[in-house]
A and B are shown apart, each in its own frame.
Chain A
Amino acid sequence: MQSGMSRALFLVLFTLVCCPVRATDTVINILANETVNTEALSPAQVRLIFAGRTQFWPNGERVKVFVLPASNPTHTDFCRSVLQIYPYQLERIWQRITYSGQGDAPVIVTSVEDMVAKVAATPGSIGYVNFNGTPPEGTYLLQIGERE
């Protein structure tokens, strides 16, 4: 009985620890302003940027982050498949940064089209889009490297 309980507990813990956030099949690409001038980022680096930990690019320019509203399916897909976290976790991280004097929250845009326009017009900015193909003028698709 005791060993059965232990086994069940172990299985629950194993599942919790090893079960990552479910990724989705939706295409999500990182869109950056052409001034960013960085070819690729690791998934951890992307996460640090969108979690507000990395606030300046290596050239000293401020990172400007654009995100879609938390209720937007593309935002949910981005959080799940790229950041590997849930949207509420990202919001919690940003609130912690904003309300403890460590930075500013990302700018929330209304749509993917708005995202593209804002990233194209804002030096040092980064966002995400749900399409492949040629990026609009003034932007490029930033490659995400393999997981460490």
Chain B
Amino acid sequence: MQKLAVKGFIAFLGLFVGCVQANDDLSWHGFIAQGITQSQHSAYITDDNAFTFESTEVGINAIYTFNSNVSVAGQLVYLDGGNRYRQGSRVDYLFLDWRVAQYFDWQMNLHLGRYKNRHWLYSATQDVPHTRPSIILPQSVYYDGNRDMALSSDGIALQSTKVGDSGSWEVRWSLGRSPLAREETEKFLSPLAQGRVKQDIVHQFSTYWQPNFSQWQIGFSLLQSDFTYKPAEQDILLNGNSTIERLTLAVRYDSENWEFSSELLRDRLRYRGDFTQGVTLDIDKTGEGGYAQFRYFLTDAITGLMRIDSYDVDRKDRDGRLLDLNPLGPIPRYYGYMDTATLGLSWDFAQQMRVSAELSRTRGAGRLATVLFPSSLIQADPFWNTWSVQFMYWF
């Protein structure tokens, strides 16, 4: 499916590049980011505390407008992020945009195809380095193991913007599913699972409100997603089904020289599956977390960042004690939570060019854990660090 999407995007690009000379209905943009990074005492990015240049993000996007009602847009991206996510190219989005209603005070768009998730504060452009507040987004909400699944889905999405007396309302709804690569099965379930996880459906709704000429924006989003496990011929797992439900609250305030944003989430994971040894695993736990982020614009070109990010895998077991009793073997308690403090600095040293640097100190490894055998995917110490420096260019 991924290969088909890549081919589809290349065909889309090839078809419309020919139109560049003919008219201005085609526009295209892109970005290149290359960095150096390291995770210490954790294999989150690199193994064995090694430095790496596996911090590459290259993307090109295009939009072709057929008429005032219909356009088509797509983006092809190549990523290399060490252990953070699958290395390689993917089509982040490729959808038909139908402007169902377009008045001065109200617009509604229908997206068909691989639509982009726009339900969280940074999700619309979380794949574009220079639009993110930091090189690595807060893992409580935007955790890397889930990157492709969370970024876009194949299906249908609706979004509406209404400006009224009370302010500006944005309402978004989407229904679809994401094709998952083998690596995503490992990151979601366990590297020991030999089969594939299939996302059956992801259903999302969100709404954001900004009072007229106010600097506040508040909103919430809901998500429900179902997964089925397809075992391989030789597999320790016979079957499996899981459901994730998530509620996210978001707030952002923009001041002249600073910006504050925060998202809080509660997600419930239910999983039931049978193992070949006759063991049945039945999981039902609710995680909680979120981040508070403060950015200060020191000058027009330099921005500082401070952020606290926290996630507890099970709100009834915030210190991970119950992981001692895991039916498949005890798990270190610090896989039950993950708290991260981040400091960062960005400098726009030339037009459309930026260098960003950031340093994080983390306690726990809860967001690096898989559903089964939580400590099997990424080894980490109870406390670990990451740092990254990344150069970005966009056009």
Residues of A contacting B212 in the complex (Cβ-Cβ under 8 angstroms): 44, 147-148
Contact B27 A101 (CB under 8 A): no
Contact A95 B74 (CB under 8 A): no
The smallest beta-carbon distance between B261 and chain A, in angstroms, is 11
Contact A45 B105 (CB under 8 A): yes
Residues of B contacting A86 in the complex (Cβ-Cβ under 8 angstroms): 254, 256
Q: Is B124 an interface residue (CB 8 A)?
A: yes
Given the known interface contacts A96-B125, A102-B73, the answer about A56 and B105 at a Cβ–Cβ threshold of 8 Å is no
Q: In the docked arrangement, what's the CA distance between A89 and B257, Å?
A: 11
For the complex, would chain A's binding face be called helix, strand, loop or mixed by DSSP majority? loop
Residues of B contacting A147 in the complex (Cβ-Cβ under 8 angstroms): 212-213
Among candidates B31, B68, B124, B130, residue contacting A100 with C-beta atoms closer than 8 Å: B124
Contact A101 B125 (CB under 8 A): no
Contact B97 A21 (CB under 8 A): no
Contact A43 B124 (CB under 8 A): no
Given the known interface contacts A20-B214, A56-B68, A147-B212, the answer about A100 and B256 at a Cβ–Cβ threshold of 8 Å is no
Given the known interface contacts A17-B214, A54-B104, A95-B130, the answer about A101 and B65 at a Cβ–Cβ threshold of 8 Å is no
The smallest beta-carbon distance between B186 and chain A, in angstroms, is 28
Given the known interface contacts A41-B104, A84-B213, A96-B124, the answer about A101 and B95 at a Cβ–Cβ threshold of 8 Å is yes
Q: Is B233 an interface residue (CB 8 A)?
A: no
Q: In the docked arrangement, what's the CA distance between A84 and B167, Å?
A: 13
Query: B211-246 interface mask toward A, CB cutoff 8 Å, 1 = contact, 0 = none?
Result: 111111000000000000000000000000000000
Query: B94-136 interface mask toward A, CB cutoff 8 Å, 1 = contact, 0 = none?
Result: 0101010010110101000000101000001100101100000
Given the known interface contacts A70-B300, A104-B63, the answer about A98 and B161 at a Cβ–Cβ threshold of 8 Å is no
Q: Which residue of B lies closest to A83 (CB)?
A: B213
The smallest beta-carbon distance between B53 and chain A, in angstroms, is 24
Q: In the docked arrangement, what's the CA distance between A55 and B124, Å?
A: 19
Q: In the docked arrangement, what's the CA distance between A41 and B103, Å?
A: 12
Identify which of residues 34-54 in chain A touch chain B, using a CB-to-CB cut-off of 8 Å: 41-45, 48, 53-54
Residues of A contacting B109 in the complex (Cβ-Cβ under 8 angstroms): 102
Identify which of residues 92-145 in chain A touch chain B, using a CB-to-CB cut-off of 8 Å: 92, 95-96, 98-105
Contact A102 B165 (CB under 8 A): no
Residues of B contacting A100 in the complex (Cβ-Cβ under 8 angstroms): 93, 116, 118, 124-125
Q: In the docked arrangement, what's the CA distance between A147 and B163, Å?
A: 12
Among candidates A16, A95, A101, residue contacting B131 with C-beta atoms closer than 8 Å: A95
Q: Is B61 an interface residue (CB 8 A)?
A: yes
The smallest beta-carbon distance between A135 and chain B, in angstroms, is 22
Residues of A contacting B95 in the complex (Cβ-Cβ under 8 angstroms): 101
Query: B130-169 interface mask toward A, CB cutoff 8 Å, 1 = contact, 0 = none?
Result: 1100000000000000000000000000000101110010
The smallest beta-carbon distance between A37 and chain B, in angstroms, is 14
Residues of B contacting A103 in the complex (Cβ-Cβ under 8 angstroms): 63
Contact B216 A101 (CB under 8 A): no
Among candidates B61, B215, B297, B300, residue contacting A99 with C-beta atoms closer than 8 Å: B61
Residues of A contacting B216 in the complex (Cβ-Cβ under 8 angstroms): 16-17
Query: A54-98 interface mask toward B, CB cutoff 8 Å, 1 = contact, 0 = none?
Result: 111010111000000011000000000000111011001001101
Among candidates B65, B128, B214, B256, residue contacting A62 with C-beta atoms closer than 8 Å: B65
Given the known interface contacts A54-B102, A70-B300, A147-B213, the answer about A99 and B163 at a Cβ–Cβ threshold of 8 Å is no
Q: In the docked arrangement, what's the CA distance between A62 and B61, Å?
A: 21
Q: Of B161, B211, B214, B216, which is in contact with the most chain A CB atoms at under 10 Å from its CB?
A: B214
Contact A148 B61 (CB under 8 A): no
Contact A99 B131 (CB under 8 A): yes
The smallest beta-carbon distance between A90 and chain B, in angstroms, is 11
Q: In the docked arrangement, what's the CA distance between A41 and B104, Å?
A: 9
Q: In the docked arrangement, what's the CA distance between A21 and B253, Å?
A: 12
Residues of A contacting B161 in the complex (Cβ-Cβ under 8 angstroms): 48, 53
Among candidates B74, B213, B215, B254, residue contacting A43 with C-beta atoms closer than 8 Å: B213
Contact B102 A89 (CB under 8 A): no
Q: Which residue of A lies closest to B130 (CB)?
A: A95
Residues of B contacting A60 in the complex (Cβ-Cβ under 8 angstroms): 67-68
Residues of A contacting B118 in the complex (Cβ-Cβ under 8 angstroms): 100
Residues of B contacting A16 in the complex (Cβ-Cβ under 8 angstroms): 215-216, 253, 255
Residues of A contacting B93 in the complex (Cβ-Cβ under 8 angstroms): 100-101
Q: What are 12 A-B pairs with beta-carbon distances under 8 A?
A: A55-B102, A62-B65, A70-B300, A85-B215, A86-B256, A96-B124, A96-B131, A99-B31, A100-B93, A100-B118, A101-B74, A147-B212
